[in-house]
Structure 1
Amino acid sequence: MSLSQAQKKAFRSIGHHLDPVVMVSENGLSENLLDELKRALTDHELIKIKLLLNEREERNAMLDELVSNSGAELIHKIGKVALLYRPNPKANPKLSNLKRYEGHHGRH
């Protein structure tokens, strides 16, 4: 999956208004954390996560691991917050952050 710069920009603008739905702590990657991440991506497609790790290298390594294990694409990261995207053609329009946004703003 490869998104255009325009798509990434649109996703960043949607993501700006989202609250983090998954928090990653010092405990690292657990099965529960991965399940929660995958469920959030399935439901919402575009999600914000917060990495509660102080070291930048640790955050980057954890983020790489989360992205590869979830099949998501990293859209954007700033400090301890990252925006991830994984399409779900069967996503519930009431849950999907993309479909809800399109519903409110029409298609661009």
Structure 2
Amino acid sequence: MLNKDQKKELRRLSHNENTVVSIGKNGLTETVLESFELALVSHNLVKVGIQKNADITIDEVVEQLVDQFACELVSKVGRVAVLYRYSSKGRIKV
């Protein structure tokens, strides 16, 4: 579990990151879930964006990703969420 200072640091780091996973009109497909898992392992900090034409909300996406991948929500603004899971192989660590 991340504390307040760790989340603050991760939010700061996330500003320089690009959106790695983008969810479109098909929602959370197997391909999206696989790319999210790979991004978590390689980066630890993943920015997820939802396109305007998606039928799923950011809250639904965050809930499913947190449950399925045991990661933590760092921040959520508009249609963009930042999630974190520690991995020794990952690029960003707190």
Contiguous gaps of at least 5 residues in structure 1:
103-108
The count of residues paired between Structure 1 and Structure 2 equals 93
The equivalent of 2:65 in structure 1 is 66
Larger Rg: 1
CA contact (8 A) 2:58 2:80 kept: no
Contiguous gaps of at least 5 residues in structure 2:
none
Task: Give CA deviations for 1:26-72 in whole Å, capped at 9, x if unaligned.
Answer: 211111111100000000001111012468x7221122112211221
5 Å-filtered alignment, 1:1-108, equals 2-53=1-52, 58-89=57-88, 91=89, 96=91, 98=92
- Find the aligned partners of 1:15 and 1:85 in 2 and give their Cα distance: 10
Task: Find runs of 4+ consecutive structure 1 residues off by over 6 angstroms.
Answer: none
Q: Given the two structures, how large is their TM-score scaled by the length of structure 1?
A: 0.77
Percent identity, please. Answer: 33
Root-mean-square deviation (Å):
2.0
Q: Given the two structures, how large is their TM-score scaled by the length of structure 2?
A: 0.87
Whichever structure has more helix as a proportion of its residues is 1
